Amino acid sequence: MNRITRSLLLALFAAFSWMPHDHVAAATPNIVYVLCDDLGYGDIKCLNPNGKIPTPNADRLAAGGMIFTDAHSGSSVCTPTRYGVMTGRYAWRSKLQSGVLGGLSPRLIEPGRLTVAALLKQHGYHTAAIGKWHLGMDWMKKQGKEVSELTIEKPEQVWNVDYTKPITNGPNSVGFDYYFGISASLDMVPYTFIENDRVTALPTEERALPMMHGREEGKTRLGPAAPGFTGYEVLPALTRKAVDYIARRAADAKNGRPFFLYLPLNAPHTPILPTKEWQGKSGLNPYADFVMQTDATLGAVLKALDQHGLAENTMVIFTSDNGCSPQAKFDELLAKGHNPSHVFRGAKADIFDGGHRVPFIVRWPAKVKPGTTCDQITCLTDLMATCADILGVKLPDNAGEDSVSMLPALLGTASGPLREAVVHHSINGSFSIRQGNWKLALCAGSGGWSAPRPGSREEQGLPPVQLYDLGSDPGEKVNVQDKHPDVVARLTTLLEEYVANGRSTPGVKQQNAVPVKIRKASQPTPKAAAKTKKAQVKKQE
């Protein structure tokens, strides 16, 4: 080897040695997915400048990354949204056609179905879920005893499982190396923590928790509780576990083995229990205090990433599983100038945008330009395809059927709409579909808890479908279905195709787990409703 060649090689070696490691690893970032519970779009200051709740950490995340202003959960309630996050598939394709699971419900994710965690694990990631699961797990039932499968367990069923036995088919069975958290919402039994496949403390007592701190009215479901478990300790415990996990994975992450931390928080869902440090901080009510504490949890996670030198190549996603619940006491908040749903109609459980339009902020300094905003229509089901795109792999046809990669939007390379359309689903199983500014809802009312409620006198007599132009009417105040029958027909046909094909993305046709009806039995078709109305008019004449 001559002197010139040796000098050239040494120079090249020096150049590559100087290159930061996180630049080399930028194609496979660590991923931290913070899923808040019942946090409204209007609760985040950077999304709602008129909001009255300080959220400095979410605002800092947005300043360093990208805000998505038109992001939606797959459903307006907990379980179905979480199914979509994990599988990239709308939950109405599963056995669960309405409502949510309970804390004792068996596993919902079908055996053999690919999850985001399993996909990332296959490609070298260490995976952890820390928080509220709410996707079912198989408890050992006592002999001759049963628990509800697709709904919240009945009061007489809460002691029907043997809490001393290992749990099967929980988070560890769908791709997570580690799990710590609670089985479902914190207002559901059992009131105890779970680590991997066992409870950390046996629920030997019976207890109900206050639905809101300092309020006498309202209690959670009465049931099995671990000694000393109050509910106040849950959010701090999840925060500590998340920070500890980041610390434990830091060295491996810097040496080529990234991690995926799925952090589904219990807050600010009921029971609304801010710790003493946060009580009264907002000056609004306990819900607002709890939102501030939730924001502080995000801050602790961001601080841990900074401390361990991981921030540059970690993609942090901060979002919510649906809109804010009426349990937040909207009347109290509105009286003080704060609207958790911002300008959008409705709240949790509804087909209106207040039920499913959610905060969605992404920071990934190595790739995403700071301080940017994206108005692309996106859905929480899109995590699966986005991760596959980052990894440079193609999803099999029987996975992520309703998932679209957000990577072009994150990188600023998108040249048009990422999604053809997005489908929404309410607590009672009502459907809507959104394409561009048009939103079609195949029900007469809210499909949830807001007026007009399903089956109410107020709903009777209303048109069987709703069509809104969100470009001019983001509050969904004027139903224009009668003026645009062509749009109603086109969007109805598109939704029918999505159902029939078992997918809403290109690929081989798939099967839904059960037959899917896009209208409830009480919801007539527009054609049938028009015929009925014509007959009524004729009769009156």
If you write DSSP's letter for every residue of 394-444 in order, what string do you get?
Answer: PPPTTS-TT----HHHHHT---S-S-S-EEEE-TT--EEEEETTEEEESSS
Boundary (domain end) residue, out of 350, 379, 411: 411
Residue 9 lies in a domain: no
Give percent of the chain with pLDDT exceeding 70. Answer: 91
Q: Is residue 52 domain-resident?
A: yes
In a domain, 2, yes or no: no
pLDDT at 538: 41
Same domain, 397 and 488: no
For residue 103, being part of any structural domain is answered with: yes
Q: Could you tell me if 230 and 277 lie in one domain? A: yes
Residues 496 and 383 grouped into a single domain: no
**Are residues 383 and 490 both part of a single domain?**
no
Residues 482 and 402 in one domain: no
* Same domain as 299, residue 156: yes
**Confidence label for 228 from pLDDT (cuts 50, 70 and 90):** very high
**Domain residues for 384?**
28-411
Task: Examine the pLDDT at 387 and tell me if it is beyond 60.
Answer: yes
Return the CATH number at 188: 3.40.720.10
Provide the CATH number for the domain around residue 431.
3.30.1120.10
Residue 523 has pLDDT above 60, yes or no: no
pLDDT at residue 19 tops 90: no
Give how far the C-alpha of residue 427 lies from the chain's centroid of Cα atoms, to the nearest Å: 14
Query: What does DSSP assign to residue 267?
Result: -
Q: Does some domain include residue 3?
A: no
Residue 497 forms part of a structural domain: yes
Token pair 């692309």: residue: 376
191, 182, 155: which is closest to 264 by C-alpha? 182
In this prediction, residue 217 carries a pLDDT of 87
Categorize the per-residue pLDDT at 12 as very low, low, confident or very high, splitting at 50, 70 and 90: very low
Cα(498)–Cα(467) distance, integer angstroms: 19
Residues 23 and 28: their CA atoms lie apart, in Å, by 10
- Tell me what the mean pLDDT of segment 158-183 comes to: 98
Report the pLDDT value the prediction gives residue 540, as an integer from 0 to 100.
35
- Same domain? 382 vs 429: no
- Asked whether the beta carbons of 167 and 138 are under 8 A apart, the reply is yes
Q: How far apart are CA 87 and CA 430, in angstroms?
A: 21
Gap between the Cα atoms of 145 and 74, Å rounded: 33
| Domain stop point among 359, 391, 411 | 411
Please tell me whether residues 403 and 494 are part of one structural domain. no
Residue 272 lies in a domain: yes
Same domain, 248 and 384: yes
CB atoms within 10 A of CB 49: 7
Of the candidates 30, 41, 45, 236, the residue with the CA atom closest to the CA atom of residue 131 = 236
pTM, entire model: 0.92
Average pLDDT over residues 7-17: 36
Q: In angstroms, rounded to a whole number, what is the distance separating the alpha carbons of residues 150 and 146?
A: 12
Any domain includes 400? yes
- HEC-encoded secondary structure of 309-341: CCCCCEEEEEEECCCCCHHHCHHHHHHCCCCCC
Question: How many structural domains is the chain composed of?
Answer: 2
What type of residue is 131?
G
**Cβ count near 281 (within 10 Å):** 17
Please determine, for residue 195, whether its predicted confidence score (pLDDT) is greater than 60: yes
Q: Are residues 407 and 440 in the same domain?
A: no
Q: Determine the Cα–Cα distance for residues 316 and 244; give it in Å rounded to an integer.
A: 17
pLDDT tens per residue, range 426-450: 999 999 999 999 999 999 999 999 9
Give CA separation, 107 vs 95, 195, 205, 335, in Å: 11, 17, 25, 42
Residue 36's pLDDT band (cuts 50, 70, 90):
very high
Are residues 359 and 397 located together in one domain of the fold? yes
Residue 190 predicted with pLDDT over 50: yes
Domain end call among 411, 446, 463: 411
Q: What is the mean pLDDT of residues 119-128?
A: 98
309 and 404 within one domain = yes
